[in-house]
Structures are given as C-alpha cells and as structure tokens.
Amino acid sequence: MKGVNKELKLILVAGARPNFMKIAPIISDIKKFNNPINPTNSSNPTNPINPSNSSNPINPINPINYILVHTGQHYDVEMSETFFRELELPKPDINLAVGSASHAVQTGEILIRFEKVCLDEKPDWVIVVGDVNSTMACALVAVKLSIKVAHVEAGLRSFDRTMPEEINRLVTDAISDLLFTPSVDGDENLMREGVPKEKIKRVGNIMIDTLIANLDKARARKAWEKFGVERGNYVFVTLHRPSNVDDREVMSGIFTNLIRLSEKAPVIFPVHPRTRKQLEGFGMLRQAENSRALKLLDPIGYHDTIGLVENSRFVLTDSGGLQEETTFLKVPCLTLRPNTERPVTISHGTNKLTSLETMERDFDYVLNGYHPKGTIPDLWDGRTGERIIEILVKA
C-alpha cells in the first residue's frame, strides 16, 4: 500500500511538572505499538493499538520514531527528575534548559531553541500537552515550519483571560491540526470557536491513564505513614496559581484559614517553589513552623501525591490535574478559584469551587460529609493514550 509504509516521526514535548503525567502514557503506548504482542501466544491478548491479526493498514514492522524534548521550564529534581523516574519516562533526548524567567523571556527562549530542534529533526508531528508556556511556544514553532501539531488536552476553557494558561490554551488550539479533547465541553468550546469538526477527536483524559497505571505503586508507599498523619484523617493542600500566592493579602487570608482548618484536621501542604518564594517574602513561613498541625513540605513525587490524595478527607487545591484526579478517586475537592476549565469535575465529579470568603464554611461542610459523591466521566478509562496513537497513525 503506497504511502503507509513511511515511518512516522514524532517530537513529544514536555516542559513543566503536569506535562510529565500526560506524556508518559503516550510514550508507553508508542512502545506497545512498536512491539505488537504475538497473537499466537494465547496468554497475551491482542495488542489493541497495533493488532497484527486485524486489517490495520499500518505496517507493524514500521515503528513510530519519537524524540522526547524537555524544554527545561521546570528543572528542580523534585519538579522534574523525580517524575521521570517514578513514571519510568526515558531520559529526554534533548533538553532545551530554558529555566525560569518572565513569560516573554521564557516563551522567547523556547521559540528560539525549539526551532533549531525542529529544523534538525524534521518530524511529521509535534505533540504538545496541557497548557503551560512550553505547550504554546512549541506549537507555534512547529506550525510556522509547516509541521503538523497535535494538542493533547485541547478545548478546555476557563473563560478567564487573566490566567496565563487560558492564553496558552487559546493560542495552541487555534493553530493545532489535531485537537485531542478529554470531555464533551472541550468539543463544544472548540466548535464554538470555529474549529472544523474533523480536527476534534474526543479521546478521554490522558492524566487518568497515568493515574490508573500507577495506583498500585502509589498505594504501596503508604505515604501517610511517612508524613506522620493518620490514614483518612487529614486534608491535602496544593496552591501555586499567581492569583492565590502572589498577593500578600490574599495569601495571608488563605494562610489564616489553613491554620484554623488545621485545628480541626491536620493539613499536609507540599509547597510549590513559586509559593515558597512568596511565603518567604511575606514572612509567613515562620508562622507555619509554629503550627504543628499545618505541615509544609517540599514538593513531593507523583506516587506520594496520589497516595496522600486518595486517603485524605478532602483536597484543597488550585491545580487543574488534582481536580481531575480527585474526581476519578472520588475524593472531595475544593478548588480555590473563581472558575475552572474542567467543568466536568463539577457537573460529574467531586469538585466544588471555593473562595477566600467561603472557604471556612466549605471546609466545615465537607468535614461534616456534605459534598458531591460524583461519577467518573466518559472515556476516563486508562485508554486515552491508545486512542491517540491509533488516530495519529491513521492521520
């Protein structure tokens, strides 16, 4: 069959912590595609991605060739290397080492350095995930070089353009050739923006692939023992959004509420580097050191995070990923934001928005058992990576 024997070459881009959980299943499913299970071995089910006994027109002997590019947006061991190790990600083939800077400088550095990679490597597709600066910058480079772009986790909208991630989502989706969405609202948002229907592919939630694949390992670590809390009787907190942590008054109000909450249930709070820097600047770190029930930790790995989330009374967060992970694990989640780009976690899941004004009341509600029980959204089933690979090889 003419044309289908060409080897497919992908560049996979990862830059910041939440990207690593989204790239891991794609790499794992590429490996499965490249090594179809021998159908004559009856103990192995047929490889669903590359079933060598089906009419799949892709030649199974032509592997998918991929290059993993780390932009270096996140570079601390706890923000990057730990995740590569725990998720069994291969060492990046190329690290652009852009580091931290203002949005313009960080984005500009990625543009300059990634263009060279694309010119050298000449991939068929660049695959970007999520909504961080690396996502938008690499998509922009590729599309300007006429390289096709696929965006995984497309279509999410908070409709809040003060969020840097919303700008990254809008730009990336506007220029991508394939838009892999996690939920129906993603399809609807894209269609409303005039994206042709044939570019939109609802494949489910890629983060949930990683969650399912790692749940046993996460449970086995019994992280609550390590952090000195009783299983099922603590609150897990993460906060890093500029809108929550960059303003002294807001941060101070949140902190006062957390200290009050810790008198009712111990609070475990792994602190993002951005948040730590702000807390230090505001002189609030010492305040926490005096409170034994509010435990501030350095950033923790993926397995400990999932283990702590699953066994917490509830989660307070401003992270996107945690809203989804709590929905899947059916753990109550309070999201400290005025909006979410993941409305399905509210309509179907266990998520509820909260604010500085309402958080104390919301804590009491949840601690007293009043919270949505939730169901798991469609296609959050651990097979999103498979669906993505299938579509890419056909495209």
Q: Applying CB under 6 A, which residues contact ligand UD1?
A: 16-18, 73-76, 79, 100, 131-133, 164-165, 240, 272-274, 277
> 141-145, long-range: CB within 8 Å, 24+ apart, which pairs?
141/110, 141/111, 141/114, 141/115, 142/11, 142/118, 143/175, 143/176, 145/115, 145/118, 145/119
Measured CA to CA in angstroms, residue 269 lies from 33, 240, 272, 315 at distances of 39, 11, 9, 10
Residue closer to ligand UD1 by CB (options 304, 390) is 304
Residue closer to ligand UD1 by CB (options 20, 125) is 20
C-beta of 337: minimal distance to ligand UD1 in Å? 12
CA dist., res. 189 & res. 172, Å (int):
14
Residue 240 catalytic? yes
Asked if 296 and 269 touch (Cβ cutoff 8 Å), the reply is yes
Q: Which two tokens stand for residue 377?
A: 């959204």
* Beta-carbon contacts of residue 145 (< 8 Å; ≥ 6 apart): 115, 118, 119
C-beta of 51: minimal distance to ligand UD1 in Å? 37
CA dist., res. 344 & res. 350, Å (int):
10
Catalytic residue among 70, 74, 240, 272: 240
DSSP for 176-189 reads: -SEEEESSHHHHHH
C-beta of 162: minimal distance to ligand UD1 in Å? 12
Residue closer to ligand UD1 by CB (options 73, 326) is 73
Residue closer to ligand UD1 by CB (options 73, 384) is 73
Query: Does the CA dihedral 54-56-60-65 come out positive or negative?
Result: negative
C-beta of 304: minimal distance to ligand UD1 in Å? 16
CA dist., res. 313 & res. 297, Å (int):
18
CA dist., res. 331 & res. 231, Å (int):
13
Q: Which two tokens stand for residue 289?
A: 């050191």
C-beta of 319: minimal distance to ligand UD1 in Å? 6
Burial of 32 by CB count in 10 Å (0-12 exposed, 13-18 middle, 19+ buried)?
Answer: middle
Burial of 29 by CB count in 10 Å (0-12 exposed, 13-18 middle, 19+ buried)?
Answer: buried
Asked if 125 and 150 touch (Cβ cutoff 8 Å), the reply is yes
Residue closer to ligand UD1 by CB (options 17, 22) is 17
Residue closer to ligand UD1 by CB (options 33, 236) is 236
Measured CA to CA in angstroms, residue 361 lies from 133, 174, 260, 317, 358 at distances of 35, 40, 12, 16, 6
Q: Which two tokens stand for residue 197?
A: 């229907």
CA dist., res. 137 & res. 300, Å (int):
27
C-beta of 153: minimal distance to ligand UD1 in Å? 12
Residue closer to ligand UD1 by CB (options 229, 316) is 316
Residue closer to ligand UD1 by CB (options 189, 319) is 319
CA dist., res. 216 & res. 89, Å (int):
18
C-beta of 73: minimal distance to ligand UD1 in Å? 5
C-beta of 83: minimal distance to ligand UD1 in Å? 11
Q: Which residues are catalytic?
A: 240
